[in-house]
Amino acid sequence: MSYPKNPDKIIIKNKYYPSGLTELDIWNHYLKNKNKILSQVKNRNVIFVLKIDDNFVIRRKGGKNNFIKLTSSNYEEMITGRLTAMYGVMNGSEKFAIVDVDTSDFDLAKEATKSTYIFLTNYAPFIKDAHILFTGKNSFHIICELKKKMNVNTSRMLLKKLLDKSTLANRYTIKPKRTGTIPNLDLYINQRSGAYILEGAISKIGLEAMRVSLKNLKNFKKSSAIIQT
């Protein structure tokens, strides 16, 4: 077990953690969420974002210059108290697809997420089920469980075709990148090597990426994602 070398060192300090989030706090959080994270990354590369001094460092490879893969046997050695975000990497074919609701306005994010979730779960014939994930920052991902495994380019094109023809296209943009203040339903995370935040991971500001039910979405506050220390 790789215990933090500097357990009391503050890694994140902001309005959510006025006293600071330490290496030990972060390490304990990832240890507590081991099973949840491992269930998402079987046969999948993982990306780490580490806070080194005042910089965020992206790490895609581990020992022997191999891409990072987490298992039950290496997990506790791989995680660190400086691990401020953890992303899964998409393979060429997946049993899920993601709609990234991209906006800096949290109230607009909730409105767009609700409308898009309801539309997809009612009118997308290739979607079996879906859930909402707060990304730990400003917005949400809609994680769509597909009825069958698909090439990621195919699922992206199916989603775009469906959304382009919907009334949502009159309210939001559906582009590779957001421009302006209008929420963008970003589908381009659905590509080979596309990276997405893992449920149970924390973001760069220390909030947990966590599921939010449709029922609780309207009143959901970012402070609900503060991790326990």
- What are the tens digits of pLDDT across the range 159-200? 999 999 999 999 999 999 998 889 999 999 999 999 999 999
Task: Check whether residue 83 and residue 108 sit in a common domain.
Answer: no
pLDDT classification of 1: cutoffs 50, 70, 90? low
Q: Which domain holds residue 75?
A: 10-89+195-206
Cα angle, residue 83 at apex, residues 15 and 13 outer, rounded to 5°: 20
Residue 141 falls within a domain, yes or no? Answer: yes
Task: Check whether residue 154 and residue 201 sit in a common domain.
Answer: no
Span 125-150, average pLDDT: 97
pLDDT classification of 109: cutoffs 50, 70, 90? very high
* Res 106: pLDDT: 96
Task: Check whether residue 57 and residue 123 sit in a common domain.
Answer: no
Residue 34 falls within a domain, yes or no? Answer: yes
Contact, 89 vs 44, CB < 8 A? yes
Contact, 173 vs 184, CB < 8 A? yes
